[in-house]
């Protein structure tokens, strides 16, 4: 049953469009391989034979590229620095994003009366400095607050094919797809949607108690989820898996976000409809995980061995683990208070 559930949850990541978060945390390495994927679809409707129709009808173009932070001149290093500052200032998290890759795609499919502009941007960083406290190799406390963040700042990258582009807002791609039309949007009600951040992952800040929890006692099935946790590299023989995305009474409701607006562009009335997919997340942790909360911060208490008889999230930790946990959390509580005051 555990294997079947892992495969089912893992299959949810094959959607063409979804706000996705995936991460595989190795407490022993004090790092995680993560993926944050944002998307948006914008549909423009206008009269046939209008000036807008003449511009967009038959236009089928795309902007697509992949860059990584090994190139100091493409702007990705600066983006990581900006996001790390967001984590520190807004989440009071000391986690750092580094060694990242960004895959970006914006495309337009224009017709006589409608045009569809779609966006996908994926950030794949290595997250480090996750472990806030350890008890040798027996247990560790891992920061989880970095799983959610959002920034409304423009995030510019430089590419050989397209020059400088803001990957965080839809207007950035639209400026490349329809440069003769993009400036005219700025003074219309459509501008608000075109300037909403694509890198908005705040919904993954949903309390961890509302994520589905699965425990893989062998660690052999973690790869079935699609993200490929490497048990040998992670130093753990067991895996804890948290999944978010299924709407229910306990987990809450996650729905498509839709907005509508209309405006006059070059003397043509244009109606706009935008769609952002609901979140789909999965977090794998090497070891047996128990969620703990201090103030507004959430942590995972991870041990290499699971309590006897534990198969699902219904079990508890041995008393010796909680004694160790108490000593470790005394220091963590001070750390959280200090960070919160900064």
Check if the beta carbon of residue 116 is closer than 8 Å to that of residue 108: yes
How high is the pLDDT of residue 139? Answer: 87
Check if the beta carbon of residue 311 is closer than 8 Å to that of residue 333: no
3-state secondary structure of 121: strand
Q: What is the rounded CA–CA span in Å between residue 142 and residue 299?
A: 5
Q: What is the rounded CA–CA span in Å between residue 145 and residue 324?
A: 22
How high is the pLDDT of residue 304? Answer: 83
How high is the pLDDT of residue 247? Answer: 52
3-state secondary structure of 326: helix
Q: What is the rounded CA–CA span in Å between residue 247 and residue 201?
A: 17
Q: Which two tokens stand for residue 306?
A: 């699971």
Cβ count near 334 (within 10 Å): 10
End-to-end Cα spacing for the chain? 46
Pairing state of beta strands 19-26 and 279-286? Answer: parallel
Residue 168 neighbours by CB under 8 Å, 6+ apart: 121, 151, 152, 153, 154, 155, 197, 198, 199
How high is the pLDDT of residue 178? Answer: 96
Check if the beta carbon of residue 258 is closer than 8 Å to that of residue 273: yes
pLDDT tens for the chain, 342 residues long, are 333 333 333 333 334 456 899 999 999 899 999 999 999 999 999 999 999 999 999 999 999 999 999 999 999 999 999 999 999 999 999 999 999 999 999 999 999 999 999 999 999 999 999 999 887 667 899 999 999 999 999 999 999 999 999 999 999 999 999 999 999 998 899 999 999 999 999 999 999 999 999 887 665 555 544 445 554 455 667 889 999 986 554 455 678 899 999 999 989 999 999 999 889 999 999 999 999 998 889 999 999 877 765 654 434 444 444 444 444 444 544 444 444 444
Residue 142 neighbours by CB under 8 Å, 6+ apart: 25, 27, 130, 131, 132, 285, 299, 300, 302
Burial of residue 14, with CB atoms counted within 10 A of its CB: 0-12 exposed, 13-18 middle, 19 or more buried: exposed
Residue carrying the six token digits 């998307």: 39
Residue 185 neighbours by CB under 8 Å, 6+ apart: 171, 174, 191, 194, 263, 265
């Amino acid at each position: 049953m555990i294997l079947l559930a892992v495969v089912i949850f893992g299959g949810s990541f094959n959607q063409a469009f979804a706000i996705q978060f995936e991460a595989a945390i190795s407490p022993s390495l004090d790092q995680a391989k993560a993926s944050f994927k944002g998307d948006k679809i914008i549909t423009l409707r206008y009269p046939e034979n209008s000036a807008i129709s003449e511009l967009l009808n038959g236009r089928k173009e795309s902007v697509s590229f992949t860059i990584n932070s090994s190139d100091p001149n493409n702007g990705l290093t600066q983006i990581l620095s900006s996001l790390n500052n967001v984590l520190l200032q807004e989440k009071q998290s000391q986690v750092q994003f580094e060694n990242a890759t960004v895959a970006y795609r914006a495309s337009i499919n224009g017709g006589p009366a409608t045009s569809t502009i779609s966006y996908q941007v994926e950030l794949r960083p290595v997250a480090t400095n996750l472990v806030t406290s350890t008890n040798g190799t027996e247990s560790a406390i891992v920061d989880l607050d970095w799983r959610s963040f959002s920034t409304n700042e423009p995030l510019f990258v430089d590419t050989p094919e397209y020059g400088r582009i803001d990957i965080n807002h839809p207007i950035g791609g639209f400026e490349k797809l329809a440069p003769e039309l993009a400036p005219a949007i700025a003074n219309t009600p459509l501008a608000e949607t075109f300037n909403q951040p694509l890198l908005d992952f705040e919904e993954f800040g949903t309390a961890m108690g509302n994520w589905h929890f699965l425990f893989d006692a062998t660690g052999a099935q973690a790869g079935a989820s699609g993200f490929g946790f490497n048990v040998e590299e992670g130093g753990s023989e067991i895996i804890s898996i948290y999944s978010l995305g299924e709407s229910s009474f306990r987990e809450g409701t996650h729905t498509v976000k839709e907005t509508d607006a209309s405006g006059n562009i070059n003397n043509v009335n244009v109606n706009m409809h935008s769609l952002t997919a609901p979140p789909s997340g999965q977090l794998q942790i090497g070891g047996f995980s128990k969620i703990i909360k201090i103030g507004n911060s959430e942590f995972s208490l991870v041990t290499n061995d699971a309590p006897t008889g534990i198969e699902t999230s219904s079990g508890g930790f041995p008393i010796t683990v909680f004694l160790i946990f108490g000593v470790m959390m005394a220091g963590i509580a001070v750390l959280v208070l200090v960070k919160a005051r900064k």
